[in-house]
Chain A
């Protein structure tokens, strides 16, 4: 659409110009509907400032990650010195038998698997709440909504005490199982399912002899994809960035997600300054999966967001 536009625009603006000189008052209304150049420039400046504000730390991280230790303090923090990014990465992945790679893998497992299973559960719950009528439906939904308001951090300690009772602390499950729950996902899935999955379609599937489970997975899920991708993305990011729960649950370094591992290193840079470089390069590498998954799923995500907001 936008690629065709360039040629017509001059023909529109050219007759406007002399008109402004002769009869300013009548010429104004058509121009006022477009943004004034000042408002436009103002908006652009605000956007530019914010872009800069958000990107400078990332830029700093990128630059810092390419420096060796001596240059890190001695050179301009926002510009490159000798480019030793790959040496740094090599040193990081070989430090302590590649424990960093293990952390990345753990994060991928917690976030990837957790978000996948969590999305399926949230999708099923939301669908059931939207499409089935049963006593207590609203009550359940309201309780789930209440769950949205409780921050995950507040639940970490009670979870620790519960997991202690069943001797599951310091295991993969102690971080994985709590990650599966997403009240917000249930909420979003319900709203979306009730709006986008027509009852007639479910009825038709039933008439054709499909069971409820089959109807859900073959018919309804397809219509709910934008919402499910959104839930997946939210869950993935939430689990990837979740720090407090692993901090409380895990003691075994080989189970750490990358956030906790880097935090642990960073807490010791006073006494073991070498770790600082590893923290920097590790932090840079750890945001790459998030960027990739955002770029891949962004299209779905935008759809999902707007759908949720209108309905």
Chain B
């Protein structure tokens, strides 16, 4: 019964999307009617787990007495807030706005939980204000649709121990081949070039993203799952080789051992996102001043490609009575220098807005990185992220299944590509179980 209901809802969603595409090219006038301003004072609710959001919202509330926003909070998305959103959508009392990470947006889209903001004033025009690829994450490649406003991003680069590389006379790798060569030299000194994460599957996805792969595709009706395409296979084989030769450590990430490996200089680099700058500073305090950041190693010398790890958006839920005001607030929140500065300060958010990359706070040198203006590297990386990477509608499940396999792989009980193959099968099964149309 339930499955059938989902299937019906899905078909309805798909047909709405299709007609939306068809009509929008001919006229935007009819669509605009669905996102009209409300009269009188409007109260909006906004659920987010970002600490310090109240302060940014307070600024907005002061300037906009007619659109008052109330912040609600909870654990991070996969920690329970997404499930709450789905419960609330079912119960018909979802908040007007909610924070959703890019990799979870398709799930909400498939469950028809999002309002298309394309007809709301100023939203389509805002495309130019955001880094290109972030816009691709919120419109799912549809020209005339916008399902959320990008908030923050996680362009990836390479954090490395500048002092150790220099002292051991090892060149900073600019390609993955050089990275392997450096790994061998570093292993000879007793260290590891990096730690391969067995559970940060979105980090691995970022590496695949950089290599030009994509795990999912959607042609408007059907999904295609491809966790094992040649690009992914290449990335998996690369890391498998490093694991097999014991050139990378395999501590579980975000644990004390992991922090300690960085703090004691046993691990030398970390291929991570802009927001990771604070993770090292906090986890490896003894290494202050010894780190630096360089662009990610490339697959071919001279290439300029970056991956992305993390990032979220501000979406307006189905059922919001005030999409116009909600969109207006979301645009302000994610483009205004004032709000972006506050969120960067309180939660280390790295903006998705182009203007946000020029914030004074993101131009300054960072002491932990020897005074290097590290965010310049990330700003460059952000511009080099491919807009073609698509997330699937059941990412939590995909992450879990692949992660199980990765855990086996780091203990030499399997391989990364095996894990991805299992993830592929499990993802297709999960989508079929939810009646999501998928090419098998």
Chain A interface (Cβ < 8 Å from any Cβ of B): 69-70, 73-74, 77, 96, 157, 160-161, 164-165, 167, 169-170, 247-248, 250-253, 260, 263-264, 267-276
Smallest CB-CB A-B distances: 3 pairs: A273-B282, A251-B72, A164-B91
CB closest residue in chain A, given B263: A73
CB closest residue in chain B, given A70: B285
Which of B79-87, B371-379, B384-392 forms part of the interface with chain A?
B79-87
Assembly CA distance A275 to B279 (angstroms): 11
Answer whether residue B260 sits at the interface, using C-beta atoms and an 8 A cutoff. yes
Are B79 and A270 touching (Cβ within 8 A)?
no
Answer whether residue B38 sits at the interface, using C-beta atoms and an 8 A cutoff. no
Are B47 and A161 touching (Cβ within 8 A)?
no
Q: Choose one: B45, B84, B284; the contact of A248 (CB below 8 Å).
A: B84
Assembly CA distance A268 to B76 (angstroms): 6
Q: Choose one: A73, A167, A248, A272; the contact of B51 (CB below 8 Å).
A: A272
Are A273 and B74 touching (Cβ within 8 A)?
no
**In the complex, which residues of chain B have a beta carbon less than 8 angstroms from the beta carbon of A270?**
254, 279
Are B91 and A247 touching (Cβ within 8 A)?
no
Known contacts A73-B256, A164-B93; 7 additional CB pairs below 8 A are A73-B285, A74-B286, A248-B80, A253-B73, A260-B75, A270-B279, A271-B347
- From known contacts A161-B90, A248-B84, infer whether A96 and B72 are also in contact, taking CB-CB under 8 Å: no
CB closest residue in chain A, given B70: A252
Answer whether residue B239 sits at the interface, using C-beta atoms and an 8 A cutoff. no
Assembly CA distance A165 to B92 (angstroms): 9
Which positions 26-81 of chain B face chain A at CB distance < 8 Å? 45, 47, 49, 51, 72-76, 79-80
CB closest residue in chain B, given A264: B75
- From known contacts A248-B87, A252-B72, A267-B76, infer whether A272 and B256 are also in contact, taking CB-CB under 8 Å: no
| Number of chain B interface residues as a range | 35 or more
Digit string of B222-261 for contact with A (CB within 8 Å is 1, else 0)? 0000000000000000000000000000000010100110
Are A161 and B91 touching (Cβ within 8 A)?
yes
Assembly CA distance A70 to B279 (angstroms): 13
Q: How far is the CB of A265 from chain B (nearest CB, A)?
A: 8
Answer whether residue B20 sits at the interface, using C-beta atoms and an 8 A cutoff. no
**In the complex, which residues of chain B have a beta carbon less than 8 angstroms from the beta carbon of A157?**
87
Digit string of B88-123 for contact with A (CB within 8 Å is 1, else 0)? 101111010000000000000000000000000000
Q: Choose one: A70, A164, A170; the contact of B92 (CB below 8 Å).
A: A164
**In the complex, which residues of chain A have a beta carbon less than 8 angstroms from the beta carbon of B282?**
69, 273-274, 276
Are A160 and B87 touching (Cβ within 8 A)?
yes
**In the complex, which residues of chain A have a beta carbon less than 8 angstroms from the beta carbon of B87?**
157, 160-161, 248
Q: Choose one: B45, B93, B285; the contact of A69 (CB below 8 Å).
A: B285
Q: Choose one: B72, B75, B348; the contact of A271 (CB below 8 Å).
A: B348
Q: How far is the CB of B411 from chain A (nearest CB, A)?
A: 23
**In the complex, which residues of chain B have a beta carbon less than 8 angstroms from the beta carbon of A251?**
45, 47, 72-74, 84, 95
CB closest residue in chain A, given B347: A272
Q: How far is the CB of A251 from chain B (nearest CB, A)?
A: 3
Are B256 and A247 touching (Cβ within 8 A)?
no
- From known contacts A251-B73, A270-B254, infer whether A264 and B49 are also in contact, taking CB-CB under 8 Å: yes
Are A268 and B263 touching (Cβ within 8 A)?
no
Assembly CA distance A252 to B70 (angstroms): 9
- From known contacts A70-B286, A263-B75, infer whether A269 and B275 are also in contact, taking CB-CB under 8 Å: no
